[in-house]
Amino acid sequence: MKYYIIAGEASGDLHASNLIRELKQRDAKADFRCWGGDLMQQQGAVIVKHYRELSFMGFTEVLMNLGTILHNLSFCKKDILNYRPDGVILVDYPGFNLRIAKFLHQNGLPVIYYISPQVWAWKQSRVRTIRKVVDKMLVILPFEKDFYSGHGVEVEFIGHPLLDALSGKPFVPVAEKANRPLVALLPGSRRQEIRAVLPEMLKVIARFPEVDFIIAGVTSVDDSFYAKLAGKQKAAVLKGRTYDLLNQSSAALVTSGTATLETALIGTPEVVCYRGGAISYMIARKLVKVKFISLVNLIMDRVVVKEFIQHELTADNLERELRLLLYDNSRKTAIMNDYGDLRQKLGGPGASARAAATIVEFLKLRLTDPE
């Protein structure tokens, strides 16, 4: 069968690549045309657009790039019709993908949504759109099934694919072991969020002369960008080895997003950081309907990891919490116990395989019985 997959971010590229691998196991004639990244390409997909060209963060940035976004939407619709896939798999990225879903529904193409948009956090009106235009919704967070059920939408919880990405993964040391703690700094993958968060993270370096700090860089951001932000602060930049870095670190300062969950599943105590543009943050405060900003706390429905948001993201706050994570054994033990409970809630490994099996079965049924 022919699959068209749209993933607009780095995390989507990771999960879609694992899904492609599992789909090939179940469909020997599988052909993939995608919007995504290097990991999907490594699995044999033809990449039409790289996610680096698609990632716009915040309300103001979206408005500034509206022309590019509209052009991408138009191009995507034409490309799908030319490819004539048996099914289209949308991976998160809701602002773009829900518009594509409407178009696909109008043209009679099967729509599978893998990894639900965070409609439980904001824009809950999108549930009505999902009910109308999505044929199969696969969710990865345990509370999402109850949320959708409460809105009259049947979805399937398949577990979190991060457990697949990390299961049995061999970690390679990033630095020679020494009698010094190592702290990972994860400032995000977009220049805008890195610029907002990394300078505050770097301020704590001078307060911990006994600790080594390493920045988890991304390949899409050049070294000079990190160097300019770091200035005289002593923090190396390591690209493409975030999991290895986290595995060896005693603690981590992590920008809000999927990385907070990755850090927890690897087992590294963390502090969650977020700072956005003033206008975007003011709008978000009015719209967002969740108690927490990190996936760890959202899934556990309580504070497991400390969150410092906007004006709370200061060097003093980061120093205080980081000292607890590094030197307070009771704090570290409590976090490790909570991380164990988190893994249980996420359903165990096998999410990618379960998703692939569901998708193949669903599309085969559609092909034999289009009605």
Are 107 and 56 in a shared domain?
yes
Inside any domain, residue 174: no
Q: Let me know if residue 171 belongs to a domain.
A: no
Q: Coil, strand or helix: which one is 43?
A: coil
User: How many C-beta atoms surround the C-beta of residue 120 within 10 A?
Assistant: 21
Same domain, 133 and 282: no
- Same domain (yes/no): 295, 245: yes
> What burial class does residue 119 get, using C-beta atoms within 10 Å of its C-beta: 0-12 exposed, 13-18 middle, 19+ buried?
buried
Q: Is 195 contained in some domain?
A: yes
CATH of the domain at 133: 3.40.50.2000
Indicate if 190 and 267 belong to the same structural domain: yes
Output phi, psi for 227, to 5 deg: -65, -40
**155/26 same-domain check:** yes
What does the alpha-carbon distance between residue 290 and residue 298 come to, in Å, rounded to a whole number? 8
154 located within any domain: yes
Q: Could you read off the pLDDT tens digit of each residue along the chain, which spans 371 residues?
A: 999 999 988 889 999 999 999 999 999 999 999 999 999 999 999 999 998 876 655 544 555 556 677 888 999 999 999 999 999 999 999 889 999 999 999 999 999 999 998 887 667 778 999 999 999 999 999 989 988 998 889 999 999 999 988 877 789 999 876 689 999 999 998 888 999 999 999 999 999 999 999 999 988 899 999 999 988 887 899 998 999 999 999 999 999 888 999 999 999 999 999 987 655 555 455 545 568 889 999 999 999 999 999 899 999 999 999 999 999 999 999 999 999 999 989 988 899 999 999 999 999 998 887 65
The CA angle 276-319-242, to the nearest 5 degrees, is 65
Same domain, 192 and 143: no
Assess whether 99 and 212 both reside in one domain.
no
Phi and psi for 346 in degrees, rounded to 5? -85, -5
Instruction: Say what the pLDDT of residue 239 is.
Output: 94
Question: Does residue 172 lie within any of the structural domains?
Answer: no
Domain that holds residue 216: 182-345
Residue at 173 is within a domain = no
User: Is the same domain home to 159 and 252?
Assistant: no
Please provide residue 210's backbone torsions phi and psi, each rounded to the nearest 5 degrees. -90, 5
Alpha-carbon span 125 to 317, nearest angstrom: 36
Is 331 found in the same domain as 354? no
Which residue matches tokens 């309300």? 59
Number of domains in the chain: 2
116 and 227 in a common domain? no
Same domain, 13 and 153: yes
Half-sphere CA count of 197, side-chain side, radius 13 A? 26
One domain, residues 325 and 364 = no
For residues 124 and 119, what is the distance between their CA atoms, to the nearest angstrom? 5
The pLDDT assigned to 168 comes to 75
Residue 252 CA to residue 182 CA, distance in Å, equals 9
Per-residue CA distances from 145 to 7, 69, 123 (Å): 22, 31, 17
170 is a domain residue: no
Residue 175 domain-assigned (yes or no):
no
